[in-house]
């Protein structure tokens, strides 16, 4: 694994989706290469900031009921597909 290849696999790595072989090779490289290790930290920090800055919006009960009722009225009493 070299610095260029790390760019292709770093997101798999930070999200824990690396294959077994890829995981080991990525870990090895990050232990040896300070630049890539710092790069990984920057990416993780940014992803975490992005994630935390905008929580999911809650959907009110009213909104939920309104949507469900409109869906059912669009179906016009249509039976379930079976």
Burial 28-48 (b: 16+ CB within 10 A, else e): ebbeebeebeebbeeeeeeee
| Sole binder of other proteins in the list 4, 20, 71, 76 (CB under 8 A) | 71
* Element of type H or E holding 55: none
Task: Give the CA angle between residues 9, 1, 14 to the nearest 5°.
Answer: 30
By the 8 A CB rule, do 3 and 10 touch? Answer: no
76 binds other proteins (CB under 8 A): no
Q: In terms of CB distance, is 27 or 54 closer to other proteins? A: 54
Hey, which residues between 26 and 65 contact other proteins (CB under 8 A)?
A: 38-39, 41-43, 45-47, 49-51, 53-54, 56-59, 63-64
Residues near other proteins, by CB under 8 A: 7-12, 15, 17, 38-39, 41-43, 45-47, 49-51, 53-54, 56-59, 63-64, 66-68, 70-71, 74-75, 78-82
């Amino acid at each position: 694994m070299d610095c260029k290849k790390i760019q292709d696999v770093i997101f798999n790595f930070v999200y824990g989706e690396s294959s077994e072989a890829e995981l080991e090779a990525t870990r090895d490289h990050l232990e040896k290469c300070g630049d890539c290790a710092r790069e990984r930290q920057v990416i993780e920090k940014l992803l975490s900031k992005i994630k935390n800055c905008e929580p999911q919006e809650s959907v009110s009960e009213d909104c939920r009921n309104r949507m469900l009722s409109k869906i059912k009225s669009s179906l016009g009493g249509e039976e379930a597909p079976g």
